A and B are shown apart, each in its own frame.
Chain A
Amino acid sequence: MAEIKTQVPVVDENGVKGQFIPKRDTKKVIIADEADTKVKTKMESKDIPFFILLIVLACVFIAPILLVLMNSFKGKLFLSNAPFAFPDGDSFVGFDNYTEGAEKIGFFGAFLTSVFITVFSVALIIVCTSMCAWFIVRVKKWYSQLLYLLCAFSMIVPFQMVMYPMTQVASNLKLNNMVGIIFVYLGFGAGLAVFMFVGFIKGVPLEIEEAAMIDGCGPVRTFFLVVFPILKPTAITVAILNAMWIWNDYLLPYLLLGASETRTLPMAIQYLRGGYGSIDMANMMAMIVLSIIPIVIFYLACQKYIIKGIVAGAVKG
């Protein structure tokens, strides 16, 4: 795992140049906004074929989503017969698929469950792991080092390895409910989050904290008033990576909540696959549209942060 350590990227958007860059970090990943300025540059004529190629590719990338949208308005029969035809007089069923599907899988309940679990898990992960990472960096003891290595190690362990025992432990401890699962997510998210926070905090100069302590701040106030604001860029990255993961996660909530009536969005979608593998594709299309809309809105609203977060978080194993 030592190999990964040298790759801690630097996200430094507050213009605090150099100061917080970890010293051992030799390869900087520049999170460039350069592309933004390029838009205005004039295109050369030899680049026009490439431009056309890109447009074609963009259409190919968007097509699946448009197909889903189109088919969500078609009746069941027409979907399997002619999936690529536009809905016409016969096949058009309006919003029937939406109302029917939403009722069948309890879409809005599932949506709220997903929002609840994602928001609180991400918040808990940010607060707890950043505190833990600060402790690991500032208290140089064997157990801090051990904890750090275990966190890094946990990133390469596939979920199936711990799946069965974890499910049993969680149900013995009564963590198999909407609140308990948040705590389980803290455990699974800890590896990457601690790893990223430690990488950043190592570059934060000790002097600032010492000054705060001398002025009479206890460790708790020092952390929340002085250190935490500095961690903001990394916190955003960690939040985005974890939010994407938890929102889309299927297996963990299925194992912990499957026995109860509580469903997250991915579980609700999977619920449309019937017992014998039969799938109501018309309802499915409508539910997929409904579940994609919030993601698209979220993406368009925080696109800048998401793309920065992806580049910065590319260390994840």
Chain B
Amino acid sequence: MQKAIKRWFPLFVLPTVVAFIISFIAPFIMGIYLSFTKFKTVSNAKWVGISNYTKAFQDSDFVNALWFTVKFTIVSVITINVIAFLLALLLTKSIKGTNLFRTIFFMPNLIGGIVLGYIWLMIINGVLSYFDVSITYDASYGFWGLVILMNWQLIGYMMIIYIAGIQNVSPDLLEAADIDGATNFQKLIKITVPQVMPSITICTFLTLTNSFKLFDQNLALTAGAPGTETQMLALDIYNTFYGRVDYQGVGQAKAVVFFIIVAVIALTQLYLTRSKEVES
């Protein structure tokens, strides 16, 4: 049977593989090579060693963006996951209309990043207009604006995953704890949280990588203003490529650094939370 299928290789595998190579594999390898060169188009690259990397780290915009992204990621991962988990706890109680609430909380997630950015730009500027300023007045406005936006977008999504996890907690364990006289808080900490650890892993992973890679929302809400103070990594890399002359090599070096950070964060986080999961 394997032989019969193998003969159909061109039909089954080739379309996907060709597309995958053109849009991912080849650009990825070229990207690593180009980060060590000076280039305008990919065909006229000149080897310059690691000077792109040193330039990238000397670039105050890049360091600033890195720092801004890290702060933003920490704050939004914590707020999103805590609120989403609490909401999921509420919605797994016997409360009327859980379905309707679930529908409402999830909806913002379907709206794209660009549109989300402009919705919140209007609201935040509206609130700030009472103080006669706008979101570009201070970097901290942009920061908290992005945090609020991200919460609004992702809470519903994470809540859905947490609800599935909580509904999966074995009722026997909870009943046993009841008989032993455990309080609700003890049950939550000792039973529910360890049991939903797989959901916590997934949700932290998703919020972490999504916050770190944020681009559309950043572009629409502040576009980096004031100056480049609210520029996150993805936007800074984009601007290095397309906004500066002769900086493509540095942009590519920044992108490689960005990739390494994302990969390290993602893998460490998966490893750490996985090790806390209990075998059910």
Residues of A within 8 A of B (CB): 3-4, 7, 26-32, 34-36, 38-39, 41-44, 47, 50-51, 53-54, 57-58, 61-62, 64-65, 67-68, 71, 79-81, 83-84, 124, 128-129, 131-132, 134-136, 138-141, 147, 150-151, 154, 156-166, 168-170, 173, 175, 183-184, 186-188, 190-191, 194, 209-210, 213, 218-220, 223, 244, 247-251, 265-266, 269-270, 273, 277, 279, 281, 284-285, 288, 291-292, 295-296, 298-300, 303, 306-307, 310-311, 314-317
Contacts and interface: CB of A to CB of B under 8 A. Distances in A.
A277 B225 contact: yes
B266 A67 contact: no
A131 B17 CA distance: 11
A83 B114 contact: no
Nearest to A79: B122
B4 A213 contact: yes
Contacts of B258: 158, 160-161
Interface string B231-261: 0011001100100000010011001101100
Contacts of B107: 61, 65, 296, 299
Nearest to A71: B122
A187 B104 contact: no
B22 A187 contact: yes
A291 B113 CA distance: 12
A58 B91 CA distance: 12
Contacts of B119: 64-65, 68, 288
B80 interface: no
B146 interface: no
Given A140-B2, A166-B27, 14 more contacts: A30-B167, A30-B168, A39-B98, A43-B94, A50-B90, A131-B11, A131-B16, A150-B25, A160-B213, A186-B23, A188-B23, A219-B7, A244-B110, A249-B112
Interface stretch (B48-56, B158-166, B175-183, B186-194): B158-166
Contacts of B20: 150-151, 154, 186-187, 190-191
Contacts of A147: 13, 17
A135 B9 contact: yes
Closest 7 CB pairs of A and B: A248-B112, A187-B23, A83-B126, A187-B19, A165-B27, A162-B27, A166-B27
Contacts, number: 327
Nearest to B28: A162
Contact of A27 (B2, B11, B108, B198): B198
Given A61-B108, A307-B106, A50 B95 contact: yes
Contact of B24 (A187, A210, A315): A187
Interface string B103-136: 1111110111111001111110110010000000
A295 B111 contact: yes
A164 B277 CA distance: 39
A281 B82 CA distance: 33
